[in-house]
């Protein structure tokens, strides 16, 4: 059974006679990294500086541990920086790398990247976006790497795209190829927000997104990981027009294109109702849930 102490800072779980620790030093390290991220936000000239926005959107998401949030990141990169600290020199596995945007950003910060994706077309784009990275046509369910081959792994918007039966296996494989004491970051969209209100008309991922969270909880319960941080933030996306939004959504998965064309009128109506239209286009909000895990 998982227990949080009254202060929420350190936890010791005892299962089958062994300690399953979430040490104070890791909590303290996250606090230090959070201060560093906050400092970069305030420095517009810093290369990884992120524009600040208003308060983080309040989304009712049950915590897996009851532990308090130590930071309020405003982007996936801030979550990753909290989890990994100094990225320079680290070997990171990008599981579900898509077209390589994250790989390119991590390489700019000095990381060595191996990217995996089952979509051959996306991988071709990824090779152009991040030519310094190594890419393979693979899913996350069976990884052909030795134990402890990487310093950490990232699932960015990808765990829910893995078949439900393989989600927990993919997390276990990430833990295996990274090894004890390393970091695995999982960032997943929540089935809520103005962005999702339009996407769900083409591809309603409500159930599969919930299954991804269940897989993370199961992996923590099984003792594969300690959960260091469980938090949320808003991803803000602006599209030049409705057509640009539709193209973005259907390009992620070829199976969506036909449904997108059939639902065009409904999608555009949802954008009119829920989007924020301004001089730069249509702005949509997608709440994201982020977890920083340490392999046990």
Whether 18 maps to a domain, the answer reads yes
Q: What integer best gives the mean pLDDT of the chain?
A: 83
Residue 23 pLDDT exceeds 70: no
pLDDT of residue 19: 41
Q: Mean pLDDT, to the nearest integer, of 186-206?
A: 97
For residue 186, what are the β-bridge partners? 155, 291
- DSSP letter, residue 176: H
Q: In 4-129, which ranges are continuous DSSP H helix? A: 24-41, 76-84, 101-108, 120-129
5 vs 37 pLDDT, higher one: 37
Residue 3 pLDDT exceeds 80: no
Whether 252 maps to a domain, the answer reads no
Whether 261 maps to a domain, the answer reads no
Whether 243 maps to a domain, the answer reads no
Q: CA–CA separation, 49 vs 180, rounded Å?
A: 31
Q: Considering its fold, how many domains does the chain have in total? A: 1
50 vs 111 pLDDT, higher one: 111
Over residues 61-97, the pLDDT tens digits come to 444 444 444 457 889 999 999 999 989 999 999 999 9
- Residue 62's domain comprises 14-190+205-234+287-295
Cα end-to-end span (Å), the chain: 16
Whether 102 maps to a domain, the answer reads yes
pLDDT of residue 165: 95
Q: Mean pLDDT, to the nearest integer, of 27-39?
A: 55
Per the document, the length of the chain is 296
Residue 28 pLDDT exceeds 70: no
Over residues 200-259, the pLDDT tens digits come to 999 999 999 999 999 999 999 999 999 999 999 999 999 999 999 999 999 878 789 999
Q: Give the domain CATH number at 89.
A: 3.40.50.150
Of 33-37, 137-141, 164-168, 182-186, the range with the lowest mean pLDDT is 33-37
Confidence label for 33 from pLDDT (cuts 50, 70 and 90)? low
User: Do residues 77 and 101 touch, judged by C-beta distance below 8 A?
Assistant: no
Residue 172 pLDDT exceeds 80: yes
For residue 290, what are the β-bridge partners? 187, 231
For residue 177, what are the β-bridge partners? none
Q: CA–CA separation, 85 vs 136, rounded Å?
A: 26
Q: Which residue has the tokens 């990994």?
A: 84
195 vs 59 pLDDT, higher one: 195
Q: Of all residues in the chain, what percent carry a pLDDT higher than 90?
A: 72
Whether 248 maps to a domain, the answer reads no
Whether 40 maps to a domain, the answer reads yes
The answer to pTM > 0.85 is no
Whether 123 maps to a domain, the answer reads yes
């Amino acid at each position: 059974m998982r227990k949080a102490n009254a202060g929420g800072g350190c936890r010791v779980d005892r299962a089958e006679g062994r300690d399953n620790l979430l040490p104070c030093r890791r909590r303290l390290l996250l606090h230090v990294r959070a201060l560093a991220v906050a400092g970069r936000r305030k420095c517009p000239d810093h290369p990884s500086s992120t524009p600040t926005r208003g308060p983080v959107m309040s989304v009712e998401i049950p915590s897996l541990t009851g532990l308090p949030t130590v930071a309020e990141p405003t982007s996936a990169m801030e979550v990753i920086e909290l989890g990994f600290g100094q990225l320079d020199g680290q070997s990171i596995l990008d599981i579900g790398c898509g077209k390589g945007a994250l790989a390119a950003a991590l390489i700019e910060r000095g990381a060595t990247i191996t990217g995996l994706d089952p979509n051959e077309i996306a991988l071709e784009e990824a090779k152009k976006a991040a030519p310094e990275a190594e890419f393979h046509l693979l899913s996350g369910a069976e990884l052909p790497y030795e134990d402890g081959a990487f310093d950490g792994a990232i699932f960015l918007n990808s765990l829910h795209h893995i078949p439900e039966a393989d989600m927990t296996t993919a997390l276990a494989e990430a833990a295996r190829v990274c090894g004890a004491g390393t970091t695995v970051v999982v960032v997943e969209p929540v089935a809520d927000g103005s962005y999702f209100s339009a996407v769900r008309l083409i591809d309603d991922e409500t159930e599969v997104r919930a299954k991804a969270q269940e897989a993370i909880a199961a992996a923590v319960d099984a003792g594969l990981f300690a959960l260091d941080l469980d938090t949320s933030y808003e991803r803000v996306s602006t599209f030049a027009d409705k057509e640009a939004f539709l193209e973005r959504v259907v390009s992620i998965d070829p199976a969506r294109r036909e449904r997108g064309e059939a639902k065009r009128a409904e999608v555009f109506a949802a954008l009119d109702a829920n989007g924020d239209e301004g001089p730069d286009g249509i702005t949509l909000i997608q709440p994201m849930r982020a977890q920083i895990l340490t392999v046990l």
